[in-house]
Structure 1
Amino acid sequence: MTAFITQTLGSYIAEEALARVPSDVFDKSKLCLLDSLGCLFGGRQLPTAGMLKNLRVNSQVAPSSGGPVSGCAEPAAAAFVKATLINALDFDDIYEKGHPGATVIAAALSVAEHTKSSGTEFLEAVIIGYEVSCRVGISLAHVQPRKAIHGHGTWQIFGAAAAAARLMRLDAGRAAHAIAIAAANAPVASVMKTVYGDAPSMAKNNFGMAAQMGVLAARLAAAGYEGPLDVFEGETGFWRMAGADECRFDKLTKGLGAAYEILRVGFKPFSCCRLILSSVQASRDVIRMAGIDPADGLHAKMIVTAPPIVCEPPFSKVRPRDMWAAQFSAPHAIAMAVFGVEPGPDWFVDDWLHDEIAGRFQDSIELRPHTSHASPRGAHAASAWLRLRDGQSFERHVDVAEGEASNPMPKSALEGKFLRLASPVVGDSGACEAIDNVYALDKAGSLRTLLRVLVS
């Protein structure tokens, strides 16, 4: 009898081992953790963090490996908070679609705190979470050029469920039910309203609920609760629930445990939507080529040629009035980059959101869609053309933005990003200690040292 897809995934969750994982996958898992932790520290500097404090409920929960742990938030609620903060700046990792680390890392950190997991067990859960989440994501095919139903949290719930199931040491059968329960309780695909609607909001990708429900799905499965094991199969499968036009079933399990999707994960150099990274990079570079101060008003015009979606709202919005609109605004992101503002929380402070000089620079940007005959190599390729008032002109084209997996950010740059985000929260020494702890995690008997830095 052929196994259901949930059962194949359940077996993978229960059986994957760090000892058989290729070294590049092992190394990448640490970088994914480092990037998500940096974004978590960045999110803790935002007003949103204060709003979420009430969800951090102190309780005693009996972990699967021993006695109760006191002073820790209930893991599902803790996962909601962490996932929301990791994604809050839109600075978190990127994949073919979505930001898988927000839900995987949030769930793994929250559950590991209770299960007293070792560093090796934690990294195994992270790798497993990425593989399951990403594979479900890329299996959801949209034939229409512009989707009516769209949402990453809808499928990223599976990364949270898989990571939690592994850390809770569920067997293959229980892990399969965790995936099935997650499918039946996934958040609705709401991005066309929460991001592409008239007013982008802090609800955004709904990663908080995806992480919370993923953890809860694993806990329910551990308690004996059951889900529909055939949830992926057939014309009424999960892909229909998620609003996809079809399901590429081979993407779900082909090469599972041999070909690793985590290697196709990238890291952002700018705190804005992935769709506009190339536009931001090209614009920053062309200003540098011209050697001008953007505040001086020496340029007559800047034309940015970008994918058509970037030339439409909300991405074309000039002078956004809050951070949720700003992180999807190409003109705002371009202005922050060319004015040399450090990516992260500083991009969204009121002083910059309402700065008149930066606003006038945004007004000078003309967004033009790629023409039908253009064939850039990168899906999000962009060009920036700058003309100065003295008649000089400069042009810069970016096929693949720095930070994409095919044009990776140097390790030193990723570490620099982490230090900039973490130091305001834990100090320079605490941030350096966190980096050391991440790199040595496979040798750590527990996550206690790393978790201590996170709560300081």
Structure 2
Amino acid sequence: MTDVTRRLAKFAAGISHQSIPADVMQRAAMLVMDNVGIALRAHHDAQSTPALVKGATVLGLDGGKSVVIGDRRGFTPAGAALINGAQAHSLDFDDTHARSSLHPSAPIVPAALAAAEMTGADGEELIPAIIGGYETQIRLSMALGPSDHYDRGFHPTATCGVFGAAAAAGRLFCLDADQMALAFGIALSQSAGSMQFLVDGAWTKPFHVGHAAMCGLMAATFAKEGYRGVEDAFEGRAGFFHAYAPDPDPAKAIEGLGEVWETMAIGVKPYPSCRYSHAALDALIELRAANDINPDDIEAVDIGLPETGWKIIGDPEADKHNPQGVVDGQFSMAFCAAVALREGGLGWDDYAHHIGNAKTLDLCRRVRAAPDPQAEAEFPANLSGVAKVTTKSGVFEAFVAIPKGEPDNFLSANELRAKFDTLVSPYLPALRVDELATRLLDIRNESDINQVLRLTRPAPAEVAAAGE
């Protein structure tokens, strides 16, 4: 067994609340609350959810005791991990880690929740397992080099997420280090996720993440039952590092392991769009408010991004100027900028109003995005952006190094709760919203994870009132 595989397996198998600082434990609980809120809204609102749930049902993944967030029915653990993982990523509103350029919670939390339901683990066991998953996934992406990994067409949230999901589930199954390494070896054959969705706005991006959550759960389960995976999952000749990136740096996967907590570098999104758009959106919203900019007076908007971000949300320009659906809009800097300038912000409900809106699209076509040296200099530590708005009355410009929601500019407790309330309030009564938020934030002290998740289920009267 190679050193990276051995050390990550030992770390993931041995992590516990005694070895984790209190602020890291609390931050993880906040991320769980954010994840559940997003998944609940996506269950009701995401275009892809009905087909996803129907497909899982046809495959026989319903009928168990595990909770799919927002659904009245029970599902198998694999079905719950798949659907919850996809839902958590369906709005593109989920948390991010800048240097690894991925979304940590979406594949990891659903796998951990399903494993906790399987084993009866309590919150004090759940949170360390999730943190072990975060640390595994994030460090693997940093070792690959996320830009190189993206350039090969891979989606690191999913390709690295399957290993984080296996680590989280494996810890809840009480795997030892040797079993955890075998779980990683099984997950290696399940690591997948193509960026081809950017071409046509396909729904495969959230599916990648649900698949990673389910496969991580499967890998840990099979390892627990004695199924053999490859021993050198990461550094082997055909292992993860060599097969998925041209110039990996394996040392980054274990640098500071157990001492430097990458969990504290996870940011929470204030806008439901690609994270690379957020610094520029912050700048545009600030400029609009400070200078009383009238969208009808705008002649041109210039956005500067890190090159990796520009490739995802700025190019090809013709496509970004003409989004055909929500996914296209979320990955169009021009469209997001146009909405923010018209609305003074960007929320989930804005997509329904602005996709296909003639005035929004007219403004969208006046937005130009390009790689920017100042933003590139901040990358990958920060996903920075610059915005310049040219109007009939003047030119206004702002640079944002650290977008809102990043660890050094984190959402306040009130802002995070407001995001949660906005997401779930259309589908749960106020008292239930408050109970769910309170118990999720204090999930470390919960003894029955399934009971907490059942709070996301609508009662029949609530379903009827919502028109479902």
- Structure 1 pair 113–396 and aligned structure 2 pair: CA distance change class (3 A): same
- Structure 1 pair 287–58 and aligned structure 2 pair: CA distance change class (3 A): same
1:442 maps to which of 431, 441, 444: 444
The alignment's TM-score, normalised by the length of structure 1, stands at 0.89
Partner of residue 167, structure 2: 162
Partner of residue 382, structure 1: 385
Q: Flag structure 2 segments of 5+ consecutive residues without an equivalent.
A: 67-72, 459-468
1:341 Cα deviation (Å)? 7.3
Q: Is the 8 A contact 2:95 2:105 kept in 1?
A: yes
**Amino acid aligned to 2:286:** D
**Amino acid aligned to 1:324:** V
Partner of residue 70, structure 2: none
**Amino acid aligned to 1:261:** E
1:334 maps to which of 316, 333, 337: 337
1:326 Cα deviation (Å)? 0.8
Partner of residue 189, structure 2: 184
**Structure with greater proportional helix content:** 2
Separation of aligned partners in 1, 2:431 and 2:24: 28
The alignment's TM-score, normalised by the length of structure 2, stands at 0.87
1:103 Cα deviation (Å)? 0.4
2:365 maps to which of 347, 363, 366: 363
Partner of residue 223, structure 1: 225
Partner of residue 324, structure 1: 327
**Amino acid aligned to 1:38:** G
- Structure 1 pair 412–352 and aligned structure 2 pair: CA distance change class (3 A): same
- Structure 1 pair 409–254 and aligned structure 2 pair: CA distance change class (3 A): same
Q: Flag structure 1 segments of 5+ consecutive residues without an equivalent.
A: 63-70
* Matched residue SS, 2:425: helix
Partner of residue 67, structure 1: none
Separation of aligned partners in 2, 1:292 and 1:364: 15
Separation of aligned partners in 1, 2:294 and 2:53: 41
Q: Deviations over 1:54-86 (max 9, x none)?
A: 215334589xxxxxxxx6311122111111111
* Matched residue SS, 1:339: helix
1:445 Cα deviation (Å)? 1.6
* Matched residue SS, 1:305: strand
1:361 Cα deviation (Å)? 1.8
1:113 Cα deviation (Å)? 1.9
Separation of aligned partners in 1, 2:141 and 2:375: 30
State percent identity of aligned pairs.
Answer: 26
- Superposed CA RMSD in Å reads 2.6
**Amino acid aligned to 2:385:** A
Residues 1:30 and 2:29 aligned together = yes
Superposition map of 1:135-214 within 5 A: 135-141=139-145, 147-152=151-156, 153-187=158-192, 189-191=193-195, 193-195=196-198, 198-204=199-205, 206-214=208-216
Partner of residue 46, structure 1: 46
1:140 Cα deviation (Å)? 0.7
* Matched residue SS, 1:247: coil
Q: Is the 8 A contact 1:6 1:177 kept in 2?
A: no
Residues 1:98 and 2:102 aligned together = yes
- Structure 1 pair 176–250 and aligned structure 2 pair: CA distance change class (3 A): same
- Structure 1 pair 369–7 and aligned structure 2 pair: CA distance change class (3 A): closer
Moved more, 229-238 or 218-227: 229-238
**Amino acid aligned to 2:327:** W
Q: Is the 8 A contact 1:142 1:245 kept in 2?
A: no
Separation of aligned partners in 2, 1:373 and 1:399: 7
Separation of aligned partners in 2, 1:15 and 1:144: 31
**Amino acid aligned to 1:156:** G
Q: Deviations over 1:397-440 (max 9, x none)?
A: 21221112232222221111111111112233222211100122
Partner of residue 118, structure 2: 114
Q: Is the 8 A contact 1:344 1:421 kept in 2?
A: no
- Structure 1 pair 344–52 and aligned structure 2 pair: CA distance change class (3 A): farther
* Matched residue SS, 1:257: coil
1:32 Cα deviation (Å)? 1.2
**Amino acid aligned to 1:49:** T
Separation of aligned partners in 2, 1:336 and 1:408: 23
- Structure 1 pair 165–315 and aligned structure 2 pair: CA distance change class (3 A): farther
Q: Which runs of 4+ in 1 moved over 4 A?
A: 142-146, 341-344, 371-379
**Amino acid aligned to 1:140:** L
Partner of residue 271, structure 1: 272
Count of aligned residue pairs for this structure pair: 439
Q: Is the 8 A contact 1:316 1:331 kept in 2?
A: no
1:3 Cα deviation (Å)? 5.9
Q: Deviations over 1:16-40 (max 9, x none)?
A: 1102210111111111111211211
Separation of aligned partners in 1, 2:219 and 2:149: 33
- Structure 1 pair 212–147 and aligned structure 2 pair: CA distance change class (3 A): same
Separation of aligned partners in 2, 1:373 and 1:321: 28
Partner of residue 348, structure 1: 351
Q: Deviations over 1:221-253 (max 9, x none)?
A: 1111011111222443211222x1133222222
Q: Deviations over 1:116-169 (max 9, x none)?
A: 111111112111111111111111136869723322111110111111111222
Residues 1:298 and 2:297 aligned together = yes
Superposition map of 1:235-254 within 5 A: 235-242=237-244, 244-254=245-255
2:86 maps to which of 84, 87, 90: 84
- Structure 1 pair 254–303 and aligned structure 2 pair: CA distance change class (3 A): closer
Separation of aligned partners in 2, 1:199 and 1:255: 40
Separation of aligned partners in 2, 1:183 and 1:157: 8
Separation of aligned partners in 1, 2:318 and 2:413: 29
**Amino acid aligned to 1:50:** P
- Structure 1 pair 449–263 and aligned structure 2 pair: CA distance change class (3 A): same
Separation of aligned partners in 1, 2:96 and 2:211: 19
Separation of aligned partners in 1, 2:375 and 2:278: 22
**Amino acid aligned to 2:83:** V
Q: Is the 8 A contact 1:43 1:88 kept in 2?
A: yes
- Structure 1 pair 227–399 and aligned structure 2 pair: CA distance change class (3 A): same
Q: Deviations over 1:310-368 (max 9, x none)?
A: 5422797013110111110112111222333774431321x320111212221222334
Separation of aligned partners in 1, 2:147 and 2:336: 30
